[in-house]
Amino acid sequence: MEQAKNLGKKQAVRFVTVDQGQAGQRVDNFLMRELKNVPRSYVYRILRKGEVRVDKKRVKPLRKLSVGEVVRIPPVYLTEKAESEKVPKSILDMIEKAILLEDDDLILVNKPSGLAVHGGTGVRYGLIESFRQLRPGLPFVELVHRLDKETSGIVMLAKNRPTLLALHQMMQTAVKDKGIDKQYQTLVKGRWQGGRKQIKNQLKKQRGEKQKVKVLSSNNDSNDGKTAESFFSPIDYYNFEGSDYTLLKVELVTGRMHQIRAQLADMGLPVLGDSQYGDFTSNREIKKKLGLKRLFLHAYFIRFYLASNGKDYQCRIPLADDLHSVIEGIKEEGVKKHE
C-alpha cells in the first residue's frame, strides 16, 4: 500500500487493439511507448507478474505483436514528477521553428546544439519528448537515429512504424546500395593530407574517468570492437595564429557512437571543441578568441528514397550560426595577417 502511495496517481486498466503501425513490436517496447511516464523496471515487473495479457494470455517481453491482438495493460501508477514534467514553451517554440520538412511519414528537424535527442540520466527531456508535447495528437512519433547532444543538424523522426523500420533497415545499408546518405561538416586541428579518404577500423567502448563512455580505435582482430567506416574529404584549409585547421566533409557508412570524433582523433586531427577526444589547449584558445563553446560537428545533408511512398528525400542546411561565426573569425584573422 505504501509503495502504491509513493508511486502517485493510478491509471485504470486499458485494452489496446494492435494496429498496423504497432504490429511487429516487441511487447516490452510496446509498453514503453504506451506507458511513457513509468519506470522501465516497473514495466518489466508487471510483465513478470503476468499482469500484461495478449488475447487473455500471459506473454514474455520479447514476444512480437500482430495486427488485431488485444493487449491488456493493467492499472499502473504515475510518479508525481513524471506526471507534472513539462517542456518549457521556449523549447517547444524553438523546435517548431526548426522543422525542415514534414509529411505523412516523417519529420526532419534541425536540432540545435545543447538539446539531447532524448531524456535520460541527468537529462529531463530531449527532442523526442519535446516533440510529443508539441504534437500531442500524433498517434506515433519516434526517433530514427541519434545525434550527440553537442552536435547540431538534421535528425529524422518517423510518424509510423513501417517508416521507422524501413529507415532503420536503410541505415544498415551502404549508400551505394540505396541506403541513407548522411553527411557532416567538422573543423579539425591540423592539415588534412590528400583528397577523399576511406577510414575503416574497429571501435570499442571503454570506461574512462568519471565513468564516461569513450570509444577508442582498435585495429586488432579481436571480437570486442565494431566496424566503423567513414569517408573524409577536405572542404577548406585555414591557418589561425600559426596553427593549421581543416574543414572536412564526412560521409558515414556506419553509425557508431562517437565514430567521427574517435576516428579523427586517432588520426591526430581532433575535432575542435571536443571535450573528450580533443586538443584541450586549442579548445581553450578557440573558445577564448572566437567564441566556440561546443563541438564543431554539424549534420548538414541527408538523402534517401522511401519505397513505401515512392518519394526521394534530400535536405541540405547551412552551418549553424555559431559554427559559421568561427569560420568567419578565422578568415578575418587570415585577411588581417596578409594586410
Domains of the chain: 2-83 (3.10.290.10), 86-166 (3.30.2350.10), 175-338 (3.30.2350.10)
Q: What angle do CA 130, 134, 135 make, to 5 degrees?
A: 120
Give the pLDDT of residue 1: 37
13 close to 71: Cβ distance less than 8 angstroms: no
Tell whether the torsion through CA atoms of 272, 193, 147 and 277 is positive or negative: negative
Give the pLDDT of residue 318: 97
Catalytic residues, which ones? Answer: 148
Give the pLDDT of residue 165: 86
Mean pLDDT by 10 residues, the chain (339 residues): 49 82 82 78 89 93 89 77 70 96 96 88 83 90 91 96 88 69 96 95 70 54 74 96 95 89 94 93 93 96 94 96 95 63
- In order, the DSSP letters of 214-225 are EEEEE-SS-TTS
Give the pLDDT of residue 175: 57
Alpha carbon distance 272, 88 (integer Å): 31
